[in-house]
Structure 1
Amino acid sequence: MEIVIHDSPQRLGEVAADAIAALLAADPTAVLGLATGSSPRPVYDALAARCERGEVSFAQARAFTLDEYVGLPADHPERYRNVIDADFVSRVDFAPGAVQGPDGLATDIPAACAEYEAAIVAAGGVDLQILGIGTDGHIAFNEPGSSLASRTRIKTLTRQTRLDNARFFDGDPQAVPQHCLTQGLATIMAARHIVLLATGRGKAEAVHHLAEGAVSAMWPATILQHHPHVSVLLDSAAASRLQLVDYYRETYGAKPGWQGI
């Protein structure tokens, strides 16, 4: 696990965009994993700007989203498929149908989850997965207590997650759906490169457990310690509880310029 610390979220977005641009230059048909939420937005802004300048293209790429609320109408602005379209997909040149997400309106939820897992496998797996992290250490919607071997499934959202997400629903936690479909921790771990972004002091405890704590289902993101290629991009506030922060800064500063993340 590599820890990268910059004071500017925009700079963190550029670092992640560099990795995605390099991946697409090497393999234009690469498969991306897309996360919603505020943390990845600087990445999407950077990539959209590069696409507009003709520096990167998603025309041959594919993507899979992490999760989806259950039961939100297809035209609801907070349905994650609509959010990712607005934040990213509509701003770049993905081909029609190239981006898939879990079906939160499916009548047969278990079958829909199995089909989604199969679609990711059929695409060759995810080459680079973008992640955020919740204040309670969840990634995607894998809440504390989630199985470290879990696959795409329905989950009940905790009170804390609904409180965190209430800002997207006019501040009303009761308006946040109680259920979602989410990639499991084992599904996420199958990605070849994982890039997790976190900013703000509110994420500091979760980041501390992620990078320096014991692997535990109580802090689901800690499973990433077992992944061979994880890049954790932080601002100083999110990194404020790390014990080895000076070491992380020193090692990243000494990396060869060609190495990337």
Structure 2
Amino acid sequence: MEVRVFPDAYGAALYTATLVETTITQLSSPVLGLATGGTMIPVYQHLVQFHRRGLRFEHVTTINLDEYVGLEPTDRHSYHAFMREHLFDHVDLSLDCRYIPSGAACDLTAACRAYDEILQAHPIDLQLLGIGVNGHIGFNEPADHLKPHTHVVELTEDTIRQNARFFDAEERVPTRAITMGLQSILFAKRIVLLAVGASKAQAVREAITGDIRTTVPASLLQLHPQVTFVLDEAAAQQLR
């Protein structure tokens, strides 16, 4: 495990973007596992700037971690819309090479199976992750047992409260999501977790230095052979 600490969120996001850029430029057909949320917006802003200065995405495949259940891809609160707004509409990434779970599918079980088939066909070279205040990664919430494959999850009150800032009101936040499972995340060849802000400090400490346990899903990253935590000083404040 590698831990990189930067003075501020800007530096942490820029470093994360350069790791993505390196993967894109070094591989002939790179597969990126992408995350959403406010922490990732500066990363995608940097990647868009890199693209305007010559970085090409035409050979890249992207696979997103998750999506809310019940939201159509056209809904402005969906992660489909998030990715279009912050990355997809600004780079030369093929429509056929963008994968996001279908939270609006009539048969969610079939949608999960189909997504696992996509993951098997496209092994992820670099997986971007954020971390929830409760230690979740993707939408894999703390629990006695964690699902290995793509599945539907009931969101915790903590997660709903944290995500309410993206909606008009907390009661508008969907209570379920479809998410990539822990096994699929850990199968990525490299994982980069970006965390900024004091609110993430406890989760970061437990993920990096605590016991490996399902009640802190991010702690399972300790088992991965090539994982990098990219932090600002606020998120790293509880580390020695």
Residue 138 of structure 2 corresponds to: 140
Q: Is the counterpart of residue 6 in structure 1 residue 6 in structure 2?
A: yes
Q: Distance in 2 between matches of 1:176 and 1:149?
A: 23
SS of the residue corresponding to residue 133 of structure 1 reads: coil
Q: How does 1:159-170 map to 2 (within 5 A)?
A: 159-170=157-168
TM-score by length of structure 1 reads 0.89
Residue 210 of structure 1 corresponds to: 207
Between 1:211-220 and 1:13-22, the stretch displaced more is 13-22
Q: Is the counterpart of residue 151 in structure 1 residue 120 in structure 2?
A: no
SS of the residue corresponding to residue 68 of structure 1 reads: strand
Give ranges in structure 1 of 5+ residues lacking alignment: 244-261
Identity of aligned residues (%): 38
CA gap 1:146/1:82 in 2 versus in 1, 3 angstroms = farther
Equivalent residues of 1:198, 1:238 under 8 A apart: yes
1:216-242 alpha-carbon deviations (Å, 9 max, x no partner): 111110000000011101011100111
**Amino acid aligned to 1:110:** T
Counterpart pick for 1:233 among 230, 234, 239: 230
Q: Is the counterpart of residue 18 in structure 1 residue 18 in structure 2?
A: yes
CA gap 1:146/1:99 in 2 versus in 1, 3 angstroms = farther
SS of the residue corresponding to residue 20 of structure 1 reads: helix
TM-score by length of structure 2 reads 0.97
**Amino acid aligned to 2:46:** A
Q: Which has the larger radius of gyration?
A: 1
Q: Is the counterpart of residue 30 in structure 1 residue 30 in structure 2?
A: yes
Equivalent residues of 1:134, 1:203 under 8 A apart: yes
TM-aligned CA deviation for residue 149 of structure 1: 5.1
Counterpart pick for 2:239 among 238, 242, 250: 242
CA gap 1:206/1:218 in 2 versus in 1, 3 angstroms = same
Q: Is the counterpart of residue 176 in structure 1 residue 180 in structure 2?
A: no
Q: Is the counterpart of residue 71 in structure 1 residue 70 in structure 2?
A: yes
TM-aligned CA deviation for residue 146 of structure 1: 6.0
SS of the residue corresponding to residue 40 of structure 1 reads: helix
Equivalent residues of 2:149, 2:180 under 8 A apart: yes
TM-aligned CA deviation for residue 73 of structure 1: 2.9
TM-aligned CA deviation for residue 157 of structure 1: 0.4
Q: Distance in 2 between matches of 1:146 and 1:30?
A: 34
Between 1:177-186 and 1:138-147, the stretch displaced more is 138-147
1:164-190 alpha-carbon deviations (Å, 9 max, x no partner): 0000012x2211111110001111101
Residue 91 of structure 2 corresponds to: 92
**Amino acid aligned to 1:140:** G
Q: Distance in 2 between matches of 1:8 and 1:119?
A: 36
Equivalent residues of 1:62, 1:98 under 8 A apart: yes
Counterpart pick for 1:193 among 190, 194, 200: 190
TM-aligned CA deviation for residue 71 of structure 1: 0.6
Q: Distance in 1 between matches of 2:41 and 2:144?
A: 26
Between 1:146-155 and 1:72-81, the stretch displaced more is 146-155
**Amino acid aligned to 1:14:** L
Q: Distance in 2 between matches of 1:148 and 1:122?
A: 23
Q: CA RMSD in A?
A: 1.1
Equivalent residues of 2:72, 2:103 under 8 A apart: no
Residue 253 of structure 1 corresponds to: none
**Amino acid aligned to 2:29:** T
SS of the residue corresponding to residue 165 of structure 1 reads: helix
TM-aligned CA deviation for residue 122 of structure 1: 0.9
Q: Distance in 2 between matches of 1:198 and 1:34?
A: 15
